[in-house]
Amino acid sequence: MSLMRICFPLFLALSVASCTTPNSFTVATTQKIIQHERNKSDLTTKVFTLASGEQLTYAENNNTTAEPLLLIHGFGSNKDSFTRVASELGDYHLIIPDLLGFGDSSKPDSADYRADAQAQRLHELMQAKGTASNLHLGGNSMGGAISVAYAAKYPNDIKSLWLIDSAGFWSAGVPKSLENATLENNPLLINKTEDFYKLYEFVMYKPPYLPKTVQAVFAQERIENKALHANILEQIVVDNVEARAAVVANYNIPTLVVWGQEDRVIKPETTELIKEIIPQAQIIMMPKVGHVPMVEAVDQTAEDYKGFREGLKSE
């Protein structure tokens, strides 16, 4: 059953409201929709305090006897980018954090937001939960780069790697759509609500329906954190993880690489570079899909991953 059918009364109310300036009603209704999706995926939100005093918010399902699967979101996103696909991945122990700087986690201006630093914070969380060993990793975009960094730092703990339109392999170059992007003029940075509308269409080939009233709520958070996001983006675009990916290859960590053929954020040709660096990587190209397959093609993305995990059992 689709999100639209399940939440139709809420979507209808928001569509009728038609106000694209967030107010208490649209914010509250958006939160109800998000919480409904989390509930459907058996996800509970929790908070962990790092040794630094900063907090990481994360979602976790109740299948705690299964092997852990840590899912890491991309730039400008949060844990809920994996909420819908999580409903199809209930066979695994899911842990889905808001990275430092995003979502409901702490947002220090002066932190190190490069992949190694984020990986170290996530490792601290995993150690505290007792899930640092026999760990499966998955990440989209920036989250993919962090997944590579994590695997390179703690290779003996990692059982598999799932890279979804991964950032960090910058030798492949940038797509034409971002060749002239700067920190002052970049579709990934949001100055006004209309920028978010364009971003929603930019990152996905066929975006799921989402009322503009809901998009406006999401846009507000991006607008409020624009300066921080610019700082983070400036750090990650020069953080090349290719040498760290070679560690993944050396340890022969099973790796699944999934890419939307219509990705306009990171070049689909990046898969060729990844295959060169990580020869054991399995590559799946998804037609008519953009930068976030786990949002655009939930069922197929989950099916491909579950097939990959089944294949590991025979190795």
Tokens of 263: 């990705």
Choice among 41, 81, 105, 141 that is catalytic = 141
- Does residue 160 contact residue 167 with C-beta atoms inside 8 Å? no
Choice among 73, 136, 229, 291 that is catalytic = 73
| 269 residue type, one letter | E
DSSP calls for 168-221: --GGG---GGGTT--SSS-TTS-SSHHHHHHHHHHH-SSPPP--HHHHHHHHHH
72 pairs with which residues across the strands? 139
CA distances from 95 to 88, 115, 164 (A): 14, 18, 17
Specify whether 141 is catalytic.
Answer: yes
Burial of 20 (0-12, 13-18, 19+ CB in 10 A): middle
CA nearest 79: which of 140, 10, 169, 147? 140
Burial of 121 (0-12, 13-18, 19+ CB in 10 A): buried
| 245 residue type, one letter | A
Specify whether 2 is catalytic.
Answer: no
Total length of the chain: 315
**Active-site residue list:** 73, 141
